[in-house]
Copies of this chain bind each other. A is one copy, B any other.
Amino acid sequence: MNVEKALQKLKEKGYKRTKQRERILDIFVKQDQYIAAKEILREIQTDFPGVSYDTIYRNLYMLTDVDILEATELGGEKHFRLGCETHGHHHHFICTECGKTKSIEFCPMENLNESLSGYDVENHKFEIYGKCPQCN
């Protein structure tokens, strides 16, 4: 996924192209890791000193909504990363030091259909935390 492709997708959905949005997308395309809202803000302020949290959050949630970003909660803060489109459903190892991730091409839900009969499964979360080889 690159910035232009993402903006194209947004256009199809009726969202406008703004400098701030381009910049936000740019950050995610360049960094393959989970990023907190405040880091996005800090990064963007170098170009747009006036951006507000409202703009950051509104865009992050919107981008997550249209499946350009993925969101997760790390240590009480929401973090976002570019969605992986190369493969289907999967999970992540997440480095608690640098935020970089490694895809885990395995979903534990495959193993336990029968043990949840009677339950309406809506969602699940499987994340592995630790230090990546670089940070270790």
| A residues in contact (CB < 8 Å) with B | 73, 76, 78, 93, 96, 102, 104-106, 108-109, 111-112, 115-116, 118-133, 136
Contact = CB atoms under 8 A, between A and B. Distances in A.
A119 B104 contact: no
25 contacts: A73-B73, A76-B76, A76-B78, A93-B116, A93-B121, A96-B122, A102-B119, A105-B115, A106-B115, A108-B108, A109-B128, A116-B128, A118-B133, A119-B132, A119-B133, A121-B128, A123-B128, A123-B129, A123-B130, A124-B126, A124-B127, A124-B128, A124-B129, A125-B129, A126-B126
The 8 closest A-B pairs by CB, nearest first: A108-B108, A120-B131, A122-B130, A118-B133, A121-B130, A123-B129, A124-B128, A126-B126
